[in-house]
Structure 1
Amino acid sequence: MAVQLDGAAAAMDQAAARTGTSGTPGRSGTPPGGRDRRRRRATPYLLLLPALLATAVFLGWPMVRNLLLSFQNLNMKELIQHLTEWRGTGNYQEILGSEQFWRVTLRTIVFTAVNVVLIMVLGVLIGLLLARLGKKMRLTLSVALVLAWAMPVIAATTVFQWLFDSRYGVVNWVLDRLGWHSMANYDWVGTQLSTFFVITVLIVWHSLPFVALNLYAATTTIPRELYEAARMDGAGTWRVFTSVTFPFLRPFFLATTFLEVIWVFKAFPQIFAINEGGPDRLTETLPIYAFTEGVGNLHFGMGAAISLLTIVVLLAMTAYYLRLTLRHEDQEEDAL
């Protein structure tokens, strides 16, 4: 009898080895532990499913529609008569062969680079200032930054239009009082450089709080012992920043710069509300150019194609930035 039981147990072990299971299976032939593991592995994907569905509906579908529209010749006639006239790659060929598109692209890249550099430099300086101020002054400056950051874009743009108004603007009045009388009735949106100056001041002013407050929050995570050790070694302010603050907060700088490039590149309401890309379309960036061609000139297929090319240019810029960042990190790892 014992021999028979031993043989039955050996047969069960062999069957379990062949099926890849052990222990007592459930009713469905799957061990309870296996079902629990699969359930735990599927939980993150189930939690992400609503966000993925919302992204597919509100972002993916409009992108697909925009892509289809970019291959069509859709003007007011086709829109009213509900006609679909396919043009193939004609819109892209016309845009890429246009000198205007390349001028606007170069202008957009330069505009983005100037704004991002100013935002990062000034934001870092204000963030470091916050870390050095006392509690009351830090609270006052933080509240002011939050209020500036919370102001709606159109409201902020309207305020800047009042400030730089040629007849009643505060800026011209102050400059006139300071003895610069030629600026008493100066038209700030009359030339390309002056218009870009106003837009740059607006965008930098609106973006500084994000960088400054995040940098200050990041500095609170740096151990104070590192600063004390640097001071004991005789390091000055600049040396402390380059040796302690910047290396420790390198991920913050990389991520913030990446976000600022995206936000400044796609800036639309500030530029459009100030002067609608004028004068003479000399301050148009790619988002303004796409809107003007698509909605302003009623060339909807052309505007869709420009918007997709704008995304391609932005992806190329961010890919180049990430490539430089990864290469720099690899060189540092090799040096270590």
Structure 2
Amino acid sequence: MSAQIEEAAADPAARISRGGAPPPRRGRVAAGTPYLLILPAALVTVLLLGWTMVRNGLLSFQDLGRRQLIRHLTEWIGFDNYSEQLGSSDFWKVTARSVVFTAANVVLIMALGCLVGLLLARLGTKMRLLLSLGLVLAWAMPVVAATTVFQWLFAQRFGVVNYLLDKLGWHSMADYNWTSSQFSTFFVVTVLIVWQSIPFVAINLYAATSTIPKELYEAASLDGAGSWKQFTSVTFPFLKPFFLATTFLEVIWVFKSFTQIFAINEGGPDRLTETLPVYAFVEGMGNQHFGTGAAISILTIVILLALTAYYLRLVLKQEEDEL
């Protein structure tokens, strides 16, 4: 009897032929489990963002200003808001400015973040813990609070930066107004954004480097490879997916930055530091051209979707190359 039981347990087909119940089929249930797990988050996302996107899209096809708000009018104008912006030189200037601003910030963030991440991997336990704590605190600081601190640091009369520059011999910087020109304003915003973004890149890079087998570095060292050669031949190829994903996330985060730019100088002076999110807000809320602002925001989303499609194409190409 025990032999028959063992045979039936080992061979499901034999168990079925003897009249036993067939083994449970869990293939479909297991395949659908991930979708069931993400369903609550997907529903919340649709409720919070989906309806807002729909309303914003409908608003972009309307001429909605102060007169329409007062009289409760709904004036549909089709694609006029889009054609007006796509034919406007101001829109394309702001778009080009946004792309250049994003590229400069992402390059600095990735370069400095990678250096700090590699430094974390080489430090001792105590120094690594201290540096990691500082990075986490900088990363956890709210954007508005960090922007307020930087406004104080770069203040014209009582700013710490002007005070230090004056003490170091640059006396002309004693009362320098950092928001008086396009370049200096972008400099302050760039320092702020890079400072906020470095912890994310550095901590992720350090975590990723801990997964690289040490035998690879030992083999490279035996072959006479220095630090730079080990980075290019071992670290970078192994962490290429990390660099690709992190760079893409930073592009999105910097491209849609609003609080830092608007809080520093509201896109000034003379609207020369406006990026697309700030431009949409100023046109929509500031000038009360709500349909125009909605159209600009939709065009901004389209640009981000194009960047996302390019990133997915790179990921798929990399997976094909690995296969």
Length-normalised TM-score, structure 2: 0.90
Secondary structure of 2:225's aligned partner: coil
> Kindly tell me: are residues 298 and 32 of structure 1, through their superposed partners in 2, closer, same or farther at Cα, counting changes over 3 Å?
farther
Does 2:235 correspond to 1:245? yes
Superimposed CA distance per residue, residues 236-294 of structure 1 (whole angstroms, 9 cap, x where no aligned partner): 11000000101111111111001000000000000000000000000000000000000
Cα distance in structure 1, aligned partners of 2:129 and 2:118: 14
> Kindly tell me: are residues 120 and 203 of structure 1, through their superposed partners in 2, closer, same or farther at Cα, counting changes over 3 Å?
same
Counterpart residue number, 2:73:
83
Does 2:36 correspond to 1:51? no
Counterpart residue number, 2:55:
65
Paired residue for 1:232, among 206, 222, 241?
222
Counterpart residue number, 2:287:
297
Does 2:210 correspond to 1:210? no
Does 2:130 correspond to 1:140? yes
Give 1:145 shift.
Answer: 0.5
Cα distance in structure 1, aligned partners of 2:103 and 2:238: 25
Give 1:78 shift.
Answer: 1.4
Cα distance in structure 2, aligned partners of 1:209 and 1:45: 32
Does 2:163 correspond to 1:154? no
Aligned-pair Cα RMSD in Å:
2.2
Paired residue for 1:96, among 80, 86, 106?
86
Cα distance in structure 1, aligned partners of 2:19 and 2:33: 25
Q: In terms of Rg, which structure is larger?
A: 1
Report the AA paired with residue 262 of structure 1.
I
Give 1:320 shift.
Answer: 3.2
Cα distance in structure 1, aligned partners of 2:227 and 2:291: 55
Secondary structure of 1:74's aligned partner: coil
Give 1:324 shift.
Answer: 4.8
> Kindly tell me: are residues 320 and 32 of structure 1, through their superposed partners in 2, closer, same or farther at Cα, counting changes over 3 Å?
closer
> Kindly tell me: are residues 24 and 191 of structure 1, through their superposed partners in 2, closer, same or farther at Cα, counting changes over 3 Å?
farther
Give 1:326 shift.
Answer: 4.8
Give 1:50 shift.
Answer: 1.4
Asked whether the equivalents of residues 277 and 283 of structure 1 are also in contact (C-alpha less than 8 Å), the reply is: yes
Give 1:183 shift.
Answer: 0.6
**What is the aligned residue count?**
308
Report the AA paired with residue 123 of structure 2.
L
Cα distance in structure 2, aligned partners of 1:197 and 1:23: 80
Counterpart residue number, 1:179:
169
Secondary structure of 1:168's aligned partner: coil
Does 2:262 correspond to 1:272? yes
Paired residue for 1:260, among 218, 241, 250?
250
Gaps of 5+ in 2: 1-16
Residue range with higher mean Cα deviation, 72-81 or 171-180: 72-81
Secondary structure of 2:185's aligned partner: helix
Asked whether the equivalents of residues 203 and 270 of structure 1 are also in contact (C-alpha less than 8 Å), the reply is: yes
Asked whether the equivalents of residues 191 and 279 of structure 1 are also in contact (C-alpha less than 8 Å), the reply is: yes
Does 2:234 correspond to 1:221? no
Cα distance in structure 1, aligned partners of 2:214 and 2:186: 42
Report the AA paired with residue 79 of structure 1.
L
Cα distance in structure 1, aligned partners of 2:262 and 2:173: 24
Fraction of identical pairs, as percent:
72
Report the AA paired with residue 66 of structure 1.
N
> Kindly tell me: are residues 39 and 315 of structure 1, through their superposed partners in 2, closer, same or farther at Cα, counting changes over 3 Å?
closer
Give 1:76 shift.
Answer: 1.7
Give 1:77 shift.
Answer: 1.9
Residue range with higher mean Cα deviation, 319-328 or 120-129: 319-328
Length-normalised TM-score, structure 1: 0.86
> Kindly tell me: are residues 40 and 227 of structure 1, through their superposed partners in 2, closer, same or farther at Cα, counting changes over 3 Å?
closer
Report the AA paired with residue 43 of structure 1.
T
Give 1:45 shift.
Answer: 2.8
> Kindly tell me: are residues 211 and 23 of structure 1, through their superposed partners in 2, closer, same or farther at Cα, counting changes over 3 Å?
farther
Give 1:42 shift.
Answer: 3.9
Cα distance in structure 2, aligned partners of 1:126 and 1:252: 15
Asked whether the equivalents of residues 130 and 138 of structure 1 are also in contact (C-alpha less than 8 Å), the reply is: yes
Give 1:317 shift.
Answer: 2.8
> Kindly tell me: are residues 171 and 271 of structure 1, through their superposed partners in 2, closer, same or farther at Cα, counting changes over 3 Å?
same
Superimposed CA distance per residue, residues 174-208 of structure 1 (whole angstroms, 9 cap, x where no aligned partner): 11111111111111000000000000000000000
> Kindly tell me: are residues 208 and 117 of structure 1, through their superposed partners in 2, closer, same or farther at Cα, counting changes over 3 Å?
same
Asked whether the equivalents of residues 25 and 32 of structure 1 are also in contact (C-alpha less than 8 Å), the reply is: no
Paired residue for 2:112, among 122, 126, 136?
122
Paired residue for 2:100, among 110, 135, 139?
110
